[in-house]
Amino acid sequence: MIRIRNVPGTLRREFKSRAALAGLTLSEYLLKELAPLSKRRSRPS
């Protein structure tokens, strides 16, 4: 589980709206949006 706190209401409403338009739950939508980030290369330390 990942929890993100202090998300502004306007941002949450925007994502919720986009999820609804895509026929997804908010969690499904955010997972779909975050998945490509996991494939990005990290910066070398």
pLDDT of 15-33, one tens digit each? 999 999 999 999 999 999 9
Average pLDDT over residues 12-17: 98
What domain range is 29 assigned to? 9-37
Q: How many CB atoms lie within 10 A of CB 15?
A: 15
Q: How many CB atoms lie within 10 A of CB 18?
A: 14
Alpha-carbon span 26 to 16, nearest angstrom: 5
The answer as to whether 23 is a domain residue is yes
Report pTM: 0.79
The answer as to whether 1 is a domain residue is no
Number of domains forming the structure of the chain? 1
